[in-house]
């Protein structure tokens, strides 16, 4: 079956001397892994630079269900970035979120709303000139809407706690340890109501921002099997010291 689709690069690594393995989130087929030859020649049809994390590609391949690694027939840039590769903060944010998304949607089948959310988020980050300090937090929290673990926001009242296991607000601390303090719960509740257009109105310290990232990652680890510590997170924290 010949598939032509847009795709988002989540992860890639060198395989042998002249090959690369790439994990893509495709619009038409969900998560798909590929193996591709890599050449240093300027005339090469498939270039290594296509596979930078979160690059938006146009790809064509002959899908074979029993084949673990698919092979490209065509690869090209669908939407070139104009600012992300040249802005230190945007670059670090995109590298972190690419690694985060790689694990958060592992095994995802075709999911058009999720694909649209990710690609529109990337385009927003690339086009904005300021006010994106909280972008990664808003992205992580609202991604939960598309993978089934979004918190129940209906019952929040000041002083409540957030049960990380159940994804609900509660008036009293539970008997287990996986819950947020009243202060952290208030912070989470505020961010759940934000979007990219209004997030710049919310000012917070670097300490609080990193603390909330820790909270959100803990929530993912409880609900997404084998969600690991993210290697790029240390770089992100250094950026926001």
* d(C-alpha 78, C-alpha 89), whole Å: 23
Which pLDDT value is given to residue 229?
Answer: 93
In this predicted structure, the answer to whether residue 198 has a pLDDT above a threshold of 70 is yes
Nearest to 74 by CA among 58, 85, 89: 58
Beta bridge partners of 101: none
Q: What does the pLDDT look like over 142-189, one tens digit per residue?
A: 999 999 888 877 778 899 999 999 888 999 999 999 999 998 898 888
In this predicted structure, the answer to whether residue 42 has a pLDDT above a threshold of 70 is no
* d(C-alpha 109, C-alpha 150), whole Å: 19
- The set of residues, in sequence order, having a beta carbon less than 8 Å from that of 119 and lying 6+ positions away, is 6, 8, 56, 79
Radius of gyration of the chain (CA): 19
pLDDT band at 65 (very low <50, low <70, confident <90, very high): confident
Q: What does the pLDDT look like over 205-236, one tens digit per residue?
A: 888 888 899 999 999 999 999 999 999 999 99
The rounded mean pLDDT for the chain is 90
The mean pLDDT value for 95-109 works out to: 93
């Amino acid at each position: 079956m010949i598939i032509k689709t847009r795709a988002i690069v989540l992860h890639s690594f060198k395989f042998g001397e002249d090959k690369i393995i790439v994990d893509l989130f495709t619009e038409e087929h969900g998560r798909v892994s590929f193996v591709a030859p890599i050449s240093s020649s300027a005339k090469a049809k498939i270039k290594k630079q296509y596979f930078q994390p979160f690059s938006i590609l146009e790809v064509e391949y002959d899908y074979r269900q029993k084949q673990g690694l698919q092979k490209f027939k065509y690869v090209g840039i669908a939407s070139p970035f104009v600012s992300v590769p040249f802005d230190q903060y945007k670059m670090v944010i995109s590298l972190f979120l690419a690694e985060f998304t790689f694990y958060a949607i592992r095994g995802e089948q075709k999911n058009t709303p999720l694909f649209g959310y990710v690609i529109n988020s990337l385009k927003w980050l690339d086009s904005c000139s300021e006010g994106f300090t909280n972008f990664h937090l808003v992205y992580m929290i609202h991604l939960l809407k598309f993978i089934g673990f979004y918190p129940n926001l209906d019952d929040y009242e000041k002083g409540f706690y957030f049960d990380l296991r159940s994804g609900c607000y509660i008036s009293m601390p539970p008997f287990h340890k996986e819950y947020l303090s009243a202060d952290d719960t208030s912070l989470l509740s505020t961010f759940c109501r934000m979007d990219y257009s209004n997030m710049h109105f919310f000012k917070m310290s670097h300490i609080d921002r990193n603390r909330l990232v820790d909270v959100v990652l803990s929530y993912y680890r409880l609900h997404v099997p084998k969600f690991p510590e993210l290697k790029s997170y240390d770089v992100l924290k250094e950026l926001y010291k």
